[in-house]
Chain A
Amino acid sequence: MPLTVAHAEAPARVLIVDDDGQIRQLLAGFLKENGLDVALARDGVEMRAALGQQAIDLIVLDLMLPGTGGLDLCRELRRTSSLPVIMLTAKGDETDRIVGLEVGADDYLAKPFNPRELLARIKAVLRRSRGDAGASTPSRNGYAFDGWRLDLLRRELINPEGALVELSGAEFDLLIAFMESPNRVLSRDWLLETTRNRTPDVFDRSVDVLISRLRRKIEQGSDGAEVIKTVRGAGYLFMPKVARA
């Protein structure tokens, strides 16, 4: 089980495709500082060239590009590979978000984004894609438990009644951590590791607070049954059966 991408093995290589030179350079510097290897491309042509030359683990793709736009490039990529893609856009419109996800992007971030949030998303997507290595199929975009559904693309939690349940970024990441390791006791430290890059501008809530918030949202109405069990001195255990969906 690869826990941290940066230290456990060879650093993952991220290809940044953005037409703004400064953003490319600044982002490259920031990601390198945080233990990732970086390649750069300013448009579709350079992106294809870079993909031909070196092994890339993930692409950070700007939506607004000269020549072939980001959406078309993403569609093109999806036809040939399952390389993870995080879309960047200046729009931040709901429609753009949905379209971006529909053309097969793994995640989406609106400019101006928080660099540390991008880092967290990159790590999360890499962790997911490595976890699936070999068995990756386009439909691997969610989890289900007890009638609930967690949509990783749209970052949405849907309750058994079909209603959208709002989660904070940290709560969502916490839930993903449980989904990835169901029926296993997860330590506070491990849970903190998966969530601490989420909301770096506010002081980090303890895992206990996040757990209690998550419980309040997903244990409401489910017959009072315990979904997340506290294991004294060890951490937390996610009780329901989890299926990929």
Chain B
Amino acid sequence: MRDWLRNFKFDTLTNRTILLMLIGIGVVHIASLYAYQIALDREASVASDTRLADRLLTIKRAVMRVVPAEREPVAHELSGGPIEAHWSRTDHAVAGGPGSAEWEGLRAKLIELAPELATNQIIIGANRKLESDPHLALISLQLPDESWINVSVFSRLTPPSSNHGTVLSTSLMALGVIGLSILLVRWMTRPLQTFADAAQRLYKSADQARVPEEGPREVRELASAFNEMQARIKRLIDDRTQALAAVSHDLKTPLTRLRLKSEGLKDKALAASIRADLAEMEQMLDQTLAYLSGDRTDEAIRSLDLAALIQTLADEASDAGADASIVGAGRLTIEGRSLALRRAFGNLIANAVKYGARARISVSSSDSTVVVTIDDDGPGIAAGDLVRAFEPFQRLEESRNRDTGGFGLGLTIARTIILGHGGSLMLANRSENGLRATVILPIKATASAAV
């Protein structure tokens, strides 16, 4: 039971509805029972007051009619139930004291119900002799000859009848309503799960995932609106991709011309400098396109030797004059997208070389994962900026001049690619100075990466 309570989550629509229904029905149930009981009590008290007045009148008349010697036996005869009557020369009831207001009310009510009682004195109060008994109301009726009838009333109220039947039926009704509402809410919320699944699919693949337009009208309308929205999003993405392809094509043609023109230059130094600028522009274009295409990729997952891939990148960095070294590489087969991983590790190594003077790469593997760390000897990143470093277009430290190239997409792209492989990328400052980028990749492509 305790486990069940602990596991009961209030954030699902079904459970919230059940909770709301329980509270609502409980409150209504208790309130109606209360109102019912009040009405019942009032009814009962009116009836008992009338009965009391009638009996008092009967006793008074009967006692009045007989000689004094027989008055006590007659009074006694007429006693019974909650009423016990005695005749005496004196009054026993004392008005005032605790409960006097209630007695005064009773007195007024009795006179109203049987005005004849009021022809002589009528006192309602505690018993002179048994003052301590609060339950015992004593009514003293004066007779015309100034003798008294003292009537003890044990209880003016009829005991409340226990309404077990009512409680049971109301509870059964509540249970029924709760049961029905669970079924109803489950049935109504099932389409929501379909929507959630479809939205996920839309995100992960460029394909349109349509939700069936069926069920109650509201759900049908929601499904239709959802499908329309999906179509719009897909159109938007397609348009954007198209526009990007057009822009990239239009930019690549003049870039190609410039490349060719630079070959004809007599000034070799100038030609080299122009080619370096062109390479930078191409890289920016390339990175922007990679960033905008996000984690959508049409590259297939395949088996590849990650060690050879990183080795090639390190060699290329060395050939370009950078200080890049690698340890622990053997043959290391994983499942992944080769071009994407090439880009991700290329960006990380380029960052290490650019900002940290050198890249020291280590590759190791366990049963199910590969760990690649890339250490540099740079100043590292201020602790507060470690998260910001992954945000697009963030160039940490204003002092990093533009000569270093790039414009803040490298880490963003690397992380997107590695997350897309079901892996993780972390940055941390090394205790001995410099930054360490740690990449953990699963050896087998995970389900999420296989989309």
Q: Does A136 contact B (CB under 8 A)?
A: no
**A54 interface residue (CB < 8 Å to B):** no
A113 at the interface (CB under 8 A from B): yes
Given contacts A90-B249, A90-B253, contact A167 B260 (CB under 8 A): no
Asked whether any CB of chain A lies closer than 8 Å to the CB of B338, the reply is yes
B312: contacting residue among A93, A168, A203, CB under 8 A: A168
Q: Does B255 contact A (CB under 8 A)?
A: yes
B306 CB to nearest chain A CB (Å):
9
For B316, the closest partner residue in chain A by CB is A168
Q: Is A162 an interface residue (CB 8 A)?
A: yes
Stretch at the interface among A24-32, A122-130, A235-243: A24-32
A51 on the interface (CB 8 Å rule)?
A: no
| Given known A-B contacts A64-B249, A91-B245, A166 and B338 have beta carbons under 8 A apart | yes
Bound Cα distance from A53 to B315, whole angstroms: 47
A94–B298 contact, CB under 8 A?
Answer: yes
Establish whether residues B308 and A166, one from each chain, have CB atoms under 8 Å apart when the complex forms.
Answer: yes
B311 at the binding interface (Cβ < 8 Å): yes
Cα–Cα, bound, A221→B305 (Å): 12
Q: Mark A194-223, 1 if CB is under 8 A from B, else 0.
A: 000001011101000000010011001100
Tell me the count of chain B residues lying within 8 A, CB to CB, of chain A.
41
A51 smallest CB distance to B (angstroms) = 24
Cβ of A165 under 8 Å from chain B: yes
Contact between A113 and B303, CB atoms less than 8 A apart: no
B274-282, B356-364, B378-386, B427-435 - interface stretch: B274-282
> Which residues in chain B, 362-379, are within 8 Å of chain A measured between CB atoms?
none
Tell me, rounded to whole Å, the shortest Cβ–Cβ distance linking B40 to chain A.
82
Q: Tell which of A64, A111, A161, A205 touches B255, judged by Cβ atoms closer than 8 Å.
A: A111
B251-271 with Cβ < 8 A to chain A? 252-253, 255-261, 263-264
Judge whether A201 and B279 touch: CB under 8 Å: yes
Determine chain B's interface SS by DSSP, over half rule: helix
Instruction: Verify if A112 is at the interface (C-beta below 8 Å from B).
Output: yes
Q: Which chain B residues border A82 with CB–CB below 8 Å?
A: none
- Are A166 and B259 in contact (CB-based, < 8 A)? no
Which of B252, B260, B275, B342 contacts A166 (CB under 8 A)?
B342
The CA of A43 and the CA of B249, in the complex, are separated in Å by: 17
How far does the Cβ of B289 sit from chain A's closest Cβ, in whole Å? 9
Within 8 A of A (CB), among B296-343: 298-299, 302-305, 307-309, 311-312, 315-316, 319-321, 330-331, 333, 338-339, 342
How far apart sit A165 and B41, CA to CA, in the bound complex (Å)? 92
* Set B245, B259, B320, B338: member contacting A164, Cβ < 8 A: B338
Tell me, in angstroms, the Cα distance from A168 to B313 when the chains sit together: 8
CB distance from A47 to the nearest CB of B (A): 19
Closest B residue to A216 by CB, please name it.
B311
Given the interface pairs A164-B305, A216-B311, the reply to whether A112 lies near B278 with Cβ below 8 Å is yes
User: Is the pair B319, A91 in contact by a Cβ cutoff of 8 Å?
Assistant: no
Q: Knowing A94-B298, A166-B338 touch, does A161 contact B248 (C-beta < 8 A)? A: no
Which positions in B face A, CB cutoff 8 Å?
245, 248-249, 252-253, 255-261, 263-264, 275, 278-279, 282, 286, 298-299, 302-305, 307-309, 311-312, 315-316, 319-321, 330-331, 333, 338-339, 342
The 6 tightest CB contacts between A and B, nearest first, are: A26-B260, A112-B255, A90-B249, A164-B304, A166-B309, A163-B303
Q: List 10 A-B contacts (CB under 8 A).
A: A20-B253, A23-B257, A94-B339, A113-B256, A116-B263, A159-B333, A163-B304, A164-B338, A202-B321, A221-B330
